[in-house]
Structure 1
């Protein structure tokens, strides 16, 4: 969740860009930079590691006076958080700022290097500047160069482009990461959200998925992902200096669901060396994973479900046994623990009372503590031996969404790192897994395109009194999460079960009035799940299948509805399949008139027993 700002101004814009970037500091960052067009039409940049005050010092010593510019706050993913890797990235002809992840950057970089392009950074982002430059060198105008380049970029991104010799042109684009534009009097703006633009305008338009736009000081042209000219409504932004903006979403929860391609991409890139195809933890482990015979995972609520999912990865990939428990039970059960063991605690806030008490118990037993937390200044982060930050950014909605998928991403990377240390992972297998990570943001963006289909299912679900969720493998924890989300948001009774447990009790509930949500990616247990679906169908249950293309046909059943997910490798499919599960609960609640951001009786952080 880096920050992007662009301004077509009436005078020098550098100070305005810094002011806008300050409003995006809540997203987290470790370097910042600005590029403008100077009087001769040439690109010029100022960048600095660390906080914006360091950039301000650079600007005071060497001002930028251009009336058009772009700015960026970066959280390091590809490459160290230094000045060289800070945005904007530039060639002689174009400067860019980028949020997200370009999953095919290696192939593009090799292709462009063969053409003579020289790369100065370790980042995936720089390849975008050179790709557009190559199109410009081929004789295309800036607008056409961007239109030619965008389809070649795989992954999730928000982008802003500034062109040498073009003092009245900014271009922006989004796929899987948010971008807004603002209207001024003889000025135009773009930014990561309405909050960045609040000092300048309260009239904004939000790009929809796949959109790109061409800005001048007096006009804007919007294009969809097929390059068709479209219109996007102008609306009043309610952003202020004190509020994180909802953008064009009705609820923070909806916004946070849609932020997941960006924040998961950021988290994955922070924990991997994507160029080398290997996991690269951003911290030293104070223990040797090769010597572990058991891991203990403790958490509450959705964080517990993230831990339950990770149990599959640690045991299958790293071949280490895992005990997992809800913190409110663990802390009072007082289990015996080995003095050389490792306990992983998971919490969005880092202040969850039961989990914190469990951390302290495990530490007193001699355990090393890995804290998977979203708030680096939290008590849990401070008291852990290792801070494994999830980088989801602030999560305003009470029901966890992006924090959950970022927790899954961090835990998956930990499982791979442990597996390598234990000699359970070949170089080739690790590279394959990292390539699967690299594809996640793009797959999540694809999954979000099915929101209308999910909304239609939700309207029908809103009439149910009870709902059953089924899954096997890592889809079983997702079934628990789906039921939990539906209960939290819509107040409909729901239960999640391992599909193989169906005949051990839950099948007694199945009749023609019971919706049964089956989460079934095309993995090694898909055929077993199909057998359970047949048992439900034989008793008249209304089956909603969340699965891959062809899943409905393979099941050879009459389904009430099917939500089709993009094709993907199965190991980490839970990270993508979490999105339709979240959307289904969200739209059910909204259709029923419930407050999706603040469900009754619930708090964002449970800091008391």
Structure 2
């Protein structure tokens, strides 16, 4: 959520820093600041609470310019939004900005106080500034001091540092939080997101996990975590991949389906420790109060509602907290019983969904412990009005049928479930497995996208169909619901989803040789039950299409076909099995000749009741 921009050049870099911060405003923040090395050799720092425009006003009142500088937008984690907590932070002759969380800041703070350092903020970042100043005083070499500092801090971080003693050098490091170095003509730049620098360059070196670097106007030196010289190639930024253009893709929807590995990585950036989650990303109040939660209500619409239904399985099974999920348009018109210690979670891609917003406002007077918004738009009404917020960094989603917003919502909800287990003193091994599974997810999603050629051929079987059934069990039942919704949204085929065990209670009457029945069959505890349900379909001549784990034995024939996905941990399986259903709905819509990105009668952001 925080943003970093840095630059070194022969010209005044303050306008570059400000424009970079403006381009990062979408990420959400509560304060902003800049520090530049002035011509007299001093560091000039200007900070402001609120939007970047407030920082601009402060700079008009107290101009700061120079050829070396760093800038930052902050989302409060340690310490409330206030000017004294805003970045950059100073210590002696250096300035520092930081994204992420320093987990061992408390013992480091005590150690530094004992050494005589005074703190002017409540942040974890100021600890890094003083620690670096301390080591520089000992070693008289800034690079060696930086290495020693990195060895002492634990957590997720992206750091950028300037020092008065080295007016031609910018230092940086990353671990668990992204950072890129931009190349210009006799000048170099630094940012947490390449979007911040596209006004000056499209050539970037992407730092890898554990990298740290020394940057000058004419070049940069990069070292890996083990202090070996590292070569990170310059890559030209592919504007179309992240802009509002379709680029090489025929439709926005397909582009957004293929953006999901990156969207998931961006959503997780800075939120995971080695074997635990970093709960401070929710903010200081939320972090301290997570342990008070005794019940959870989730309110959402459409695709976001399906994400909530999956989360109910996770929350109740892993965290042991009762969880209730409702569609927002119904929730706000009934009498709600709110047990003590209940957290309300609202989920929306846009943050402007009328029914969900109204539900949040209605809930304000219902006695909830707190409200949490899970959303893709930092400045949206839902995010502003909720007590706590958890952003999904999916980037702009143009296609009406949601894809990457849904999978990043699932990722955020699994992260939140893991946080609840952690703060309640739950199974540490479970927490570690979830963290490892989340880390593996982008690569697994990329692997699942490789099914597209097979699914393209499969879509032809739907050319003349008017109805379809989707089946799933457990947390994959909501995934079946999402698959049916996608198909009906963009292909206009009537599709319904059922818990597979419900087939015999009515839907089986619809099954015949003309009815496609799509099922998701991961290798979990419900697999044998699901197999029995699918045999009921097979026995009645239904066209059975199954997406199954590679370990599941299957026997295809003229009426049934199976597509396999890799084995994964149960907790991330719903995310993975979403991917082929998205591809299926997209390619069926192509076969049917419908308007994929703008299906009839639907809008991207439903801002009316």
Give the aligned partner of residue 563 of structure 1.
566
**Matching of residue 347 in structure 1 with residue 334 in structure 2:** no
Question: Match of 2:450, SS?
Answer: helix
The aligned runs of 1:97-112 (5 Å cut-off) are 97-101=97-101, 104-105=103-104, 109=108
Give the aligned partner of residue 234 of structure 1.
236
Question: Match of 1:603, SS?
Answer: coil
Give the aligned partner of residue 182 of structure 1.
182
Question: Match of 1:606, SS?
Answer: coil
Correspondence for 2:266 among 259, 265, 269: 259
Q: Output one character per residue of 1:214-239: Cα deviation in whole Å (capped at 9) or x when no partner.
A: 53322356778886424232247579
Give the aligned partner of residue 301 of structure 2.
300
The aligned runs of 1:398-409 (5 Å cut-off) are 398=399, 399=402, 401-402=404-405, 405=408, 409=412
Q: Output one character per residue of 1:421-474: Cα deviation in whole Å (capped at 9) or x when no partner.
A: xxxx9xx85255999889978864442133442232344333334798776554
8 Å contact from structure 1 (residues 161, 170) kept in 2:
yes
Query: What is the deviation of 1:592?
Result: 9.2
Query: What is the deviation of 1:73?
Result: 0.5
The aligned runs of 1:169-568 (5 Å cut-off) are 169-172=169-172, 178-199=178-199, 201-205=200-204, 207=206, 210=209, 212=211, 215-220=215-220, 228-235=230-237, 237=239, 251=255, 254=259, 256-262=263-269, 269-271=280-282, 273=284, 278-279=289-290, 298-312=299-313, 322=324, 324-327=325-328, 346-355=347-356, 372=373, 374=375, 388-392=388-392, 395-398=396-399, 399=402, 401-402=404-405, 405=408, 409=412, 430-432=424-426, 444-465=438-459, 473-481=474-482, 484=485, 498=499, 516-519=519-522, 526-529=524-527, 532=530, 543-545=547-549, 561-563=564-566, 565=568
8 Å contact from structure 1 (residues 299, 345) kept in 2:
yes
Give the TM-score, by structure 2 length.
0.67
Tell me which structure has the larger Cα radius of gyration.
2
RMSD: 5.9
Give the aligned partner of residue 420 of structure 1.
none
Give the aligned partner of residue 285 of structure 1.
none
Partner Cα separation in structure 2 for residue 119 and residue 435 of structure 1 = 39
Query: What is the deviation of 1:530?
Result: 5.9
Q: Output one character per residue of 1:285-332: Cα deviation in whole Å (capped at 9) or x when no partner.
A: xxxx88x9xx8654321221233245447766576573x44356678x
Give the aligned partner of residue 166 of structure 1.
166
Q: Output one character per residue of 1:23-66: Cα deviation in whole Å (capped at 9) or x when no partner.
A: 32233211112233456867664333333344345545655444
Partner Cα separation in structure 1 for residue 180 and residue 336 of structure 2 = 51
- Of 457-466 and 29-38, deviating more is 457-466
**Matching of residue 78 in structure 1 with residue 99 in structure 2:** no
8 Å contact from structure 2 (residues 448, 576) kept in 1:
yes
Partner Cα separation in structure 2 for residue 248 and residue 178 of structure 1 = 26
Give the aligned partner of residue 16 of structure 1.
16
- Of 51-60 and 452-461, deviating more is 51-60
8 Å contact from structure 1 (residues 351, 380) kept in 2:
yes
Partner Cα separation in structure 2 for residue 141 and residue 596 of structure 1 = 62
Q: Output one character per residue of 1:101-157: Cα deviation in whole Å (capped at 9) or x when no partner.
A: 45x546984897699696845444456657777887896976687788779977665
The aligned runs of 1:106-125 (5 Å cut-off) are 109=108, 120=119, 121-125=121-125
8 Å contact from structure 1 (residues 472, 499) kept in 2:
yes
Partner Cα separation in structure 1 for residue 358 and residue 579 of structure 2 = 33
Q: Output one character per residue of 1:11-33: Cα deviation in whole Å (capped at 9) or x when no partner.
A: 33234312331232233211112
Partner Cα separation in structure 2 for residue 218 and residue 586 of structure 1 = 46
Q: 1:29 to 1:349 in 2, by over 3 A?
A: same
Query: What is the deviation of 1:5?
Result: 0.8
- Of 302-311 and 400-409, deviating more is 400-409
Partner Cα separation in structure 1 for residue 476 and residue 140 of structure 2 = 48
Q: 1:487 to 1:18 in 2, by over 3 A?
A: same
Question: Match of 1:233, SS?
Answer: strand
8 Å contact from structure 2 (residues 311, 414) kept in 1:
yes
- Of 83-92 and 432-441, deviating more is 432-441
Question: Match of 2:7, SS?
Answer: strand
Give the TM-score, by structure 1 length.
0.67
